[in-house]
């Protein structure tokens, strides 16, 4: 996991983007590790998740619906899927 502090300001605090590389992991690990990483983030921060498991296009959006967070961007290519998730104010 890595953190990028170059995000915009929100509520007087700079938003950060944490990068989570889950390449090579198979279902259900990408969703489980995404849930765990989201628990560590303060509201308003973002989590960029890179996956290679095709099932993550189903599992991660379902997880985000459960947690109440927001998927901002989803990129998909034949070799990878990238989700940008914004942590909501609620708890997981």
Per-residue pLDDT band for 7 (boundaries 50, 70, 90) equals: low
The 10 Å Cβ neighbour count of residue 86 is 20
User: Is residue 63 in a domain?
Assistant: yes
How many domains, in total, are found in the chain? 1
2 versus 55: which is more confidently predicted? 55
Q: How far apart are CA 69 and CA 86, in angstroms?
A: 6
Domain that holds residue 81: 2-86
The 10 Å Cβ neighbour count of residue 15 is 19
Supply the pTM of this predicted model. 0.82
Compute CA distances 90 → 27, 68, 77, whole Å: 26, 7, 31
Q: Has residue 85 got a pLDDT over 70? A: yes
User: Is residue 91 in a domain?
Assistant: no
- Supply the CATH number for residue 51's domain: 3.30.110.40
User: Is residue 92 in a domain?
Assistant: no
User: Is residue 41 in a domain?
Assistant: yes
User: Is residue 13 in a domain?
Assistant: yes
The 10 Å Cβ neighbour count of residue 84 is 16
DSSP string across 26-56: -TTHHHHHHHHHHHHSPTT-EEEEEE--TTH
pLDDT, tens digit, 9 for 90 and up, residues 10-55: 555 677 999 999 999 999 999 999 999 999 999 999 999 999 999 9
Q: How far apart are CA 80 and CA 51, in angstroms?
A: 6
What's the mean per-residue pLDDT of the chain? 87
């Amino acid at each position: 996991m890595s953190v990028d502090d170059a995000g915009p300001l929100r509520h007087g605090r700079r938003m950060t983007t944490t990068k989570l590389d889950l390449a090579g992991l198979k279902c259900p690990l990408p969703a489980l590790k995404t849930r765990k990483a989201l628990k560590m983030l303060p509201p308003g921060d973002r989590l960029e998740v890179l996956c290679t498991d095709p099932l993550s296009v189903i599992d991660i959006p379902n997880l985000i619906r459960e947690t109440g967070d927001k998927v901002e961007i989803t990129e998909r290519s034949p070799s990878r899927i990238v989700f940008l998730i914004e942590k909501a104010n609620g708890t997981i």
